Amino acid sequence: MKKMTAAFATALVLAGLGSAAQAHRAWILPAATVLSSEDPWVTFDAAISNDLFHPDHHALRLDGVQAIGPDGKAVELQNSSSGKYRSTFDINLALPGTYKVYTASSGLTARWETDDGQRRFWPGRGEAPDPARFAEEVPTQAKNLSITQSSRRIETFVSAGEPDGGAMAPSNVGLELAPVTHPNDLYVGETATFRFLVDGEPAAGAEVSILPGGMRYRDDPEEISLVADEQGLVTVDWPRAGMYFMEVSYSDSRAPAPATERRGSYVATFEVLPL
């Protein structure tokens, strides 16, 4: 189990996971997703906002943001900077193929009531969960004890030349995308198929919400709502070209002990091109 950093725990709260701020969405947005120059570079924005891809709430901290190249090795984030509403960084696509840029974490959370009826939470507000302290800080016989195994992943993909699958291998931890259609091969008029996994198994029943960018300039969010089938599959018909935001949620009662509930949240940004 990976330890959740304080920065990423804060991002979860700001993004609306476990809070009332459901309108706030965290995202990583590349300036372009498919490049063909001899020495391609891509600039990324990372933020938590009300309107998609319009930084208006909080910069996404870059502490936990990572990149993997086509060879499966880590790629350095360069020229990183964080302002009040937006973080930015660059990546040099030195090798041909697809790169995955992401932040991800998983861990246990708990809530219970004391004998006098007060609610308690682990970890406390603003604290990062430390698995080594779980057993000593969470009373196993507490009233109305609920323990949840939670995961959170935010990612996007860029390709230098022909897209490939070198960076696409799932970690089998939490809720993940295992694409059937490559995320850098999306076109208006062509149906895309995505598979979602939870801890390496099909995430049957996962709820998928897809929103086109540019929400600031329209009244209708134009949301596409889907539910994954028994194989964890959904199919998408893109209404028009542009940047899209996908958010997926999943929960079940098949969590490994000591958890009794398993929850996963997955976010990705895609570019859909005209034919």
98-157 pLDDT tens trace? 999 999 998 888 999 988 888 999 888 877 778 888 888 898 888 889 899 999 999 999
pLDDT value for 135: 84
Q: How far apart are CA 78 and CA 89, in angstroms?
A: 6
Confidence of residue 241 (pLDDT cuts 50, 70, 90): very high
The region, left, alpha or beta by phi > 0 then psi within -120 to 50, assigned to residue 225 is beta
Please check the confidence at residue 15 and state whether its pLDDT lies above 70: no
Beta bridge partners of 159: 34, 98
90 within domain boundaries: yes
- Which helix (H) or strand (E) segment holds residue 8: the answer is helix 6-15
Contact 200, 216 (CB under 8 A): no
pLDDT value for 141: 82
121 within domain boundaries: no
101 within domain boundaries: yes
Question: Taking the CB of residue 89, how many other CB atoms lie within 10 A of it?
Answer: 21
Q: What is the pTM of this model?
A: 0.86
Q: How far apart are CA 8 and CA 151, in angstroms?
A: 11
Range of the domain at 19: 6-106+149-272
Contacts of 93 (CB under 8 A, 6+ apart): 35, 40, 41, 42, 69, 99, 158, 159, 160
Provide the percentage of residues in the chain whose pLDDT is more than 90. 71
pLDDT value for 10: 39
Please check the confidence at residue 59 and state whether its pLDDT lies above 50: yes
125 within domain boundaries: no
Q: What is the mean pLDDT of residues 27-38?
A: 95
pLDDT value for 8: 43
77 within domain boundaries: yes
pLDDT value for 159: 98
Q: How far apart are CA 241 and CA 260, in angstroms?
A: 42
115 within domain boundaries: no
Please check the confidence at residue 62 and state whether its pLDDT lies above 60: yes
Contacts of 178 (CB under 8 A, 6+ apart): 168, 170, 194, 195, 196, 197, 232
Our count of domains for the chain comes to 1
Q: Choose among 7, 23, 12: nearest CA to 153.
A: 12
More confident residue, 10 or 74: 74
87-102 pLDDT tens trace? 999 999 999 999 999 9
Confidence of residue 256 (pLDDT cuts 50, 70, 90): confident
116 within domain boundaries: no
134 within domain boundaries: no
What CATH number is attached to the domain comprising 240? Answer: 2.60.40.1930
